């Protein structure tokens, strides 16, 4: 059975208007959906689960963050620190964001880290890439 955006199947983090849904459709494959402010707590919810998956090997992640309202400086700084620390633990990371400026910032971060990060504002393309990656994994 394939992946469906079923909220009931996700791990959920909800605090003060921030919501993160996290799915694990396959080993070493995570999907997140962020609504509201990206906070340090929301980031730690994701990184804790990501680190568990990394213990099994390199990770593929799709972040659906089109409804992200912004991010706290603490979350931004921790994401940079954590990303550098786990730079070699990822096969592929893709983001869906609302803002072309945020997409550009992710591209700059990819260059800085020397990582394969992709960001788009195109929901159709993001969804197609997600389902193609799941199909390659047999999901």
CATH number, domain of 97, equals 3.30.750
The boundaries of the domain holding residue 55 are 22-76+88-136
Q: Give the mean model confidence (pLDDT) for residues 48-67.
A: 96
Domain-embedded: residue 60? yes
pTM, whole model, 2 decimals?
Answer: 0.91
% of the chain surpassing 90 pLDDT: 65
**Separation between Cα atoms, residue 26 and residue 138, nearest integer Å:** 9
What is the number of structural domains in the chain? 1
What confidence tens digit (pLDDT) does each residue in 44-54 have? 999 999 999 99
Domain-embedded: residue 62? yes
121's torsion region: left (phi>0), alpha (psi -120 to 50) or beta? Answer: alpha
Domain-embedded: residue 7? no
**Separation between Cα atoms, residue 32 and residue 67, nearest integer Å:** 12
In a 13 Å sphere around the CA of 138, the CA atoms on its Cβ side amount to 3
Domain-embedded: residue 52? yes
Hey, what are 78's tokens?
A: 């921790």
């Amino acid at each position: 059975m394939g992946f469906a955006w079923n909220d009931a199947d996700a791990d959920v983090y909800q605090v003060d208007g921030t919501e993160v849904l996290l799915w694990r459709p396959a080993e070493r494959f995570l999907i997140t959906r962020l609504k509201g402010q990206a906070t340090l707590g929301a980031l730690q919810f994701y990184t804790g689960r990501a680190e568990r998956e990394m213990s099994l090997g390199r990770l593929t992640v799709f972040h659906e963050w089109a409804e992200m309202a912004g991010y706290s400086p603490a979350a931004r700084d921790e994401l940079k620190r954590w990303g550098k620390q786990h730079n070699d633990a990822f096969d592929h990371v893709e983001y869906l964001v609302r803002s072309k400026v945020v997409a550009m910032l992710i591209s700059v971060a990819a260059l800085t880290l020397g990582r394969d990060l992709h960001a788009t504002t195109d929901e159709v393309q993001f969804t197609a890439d997600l389902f193609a990656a799941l199909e390659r994994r047999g999901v």
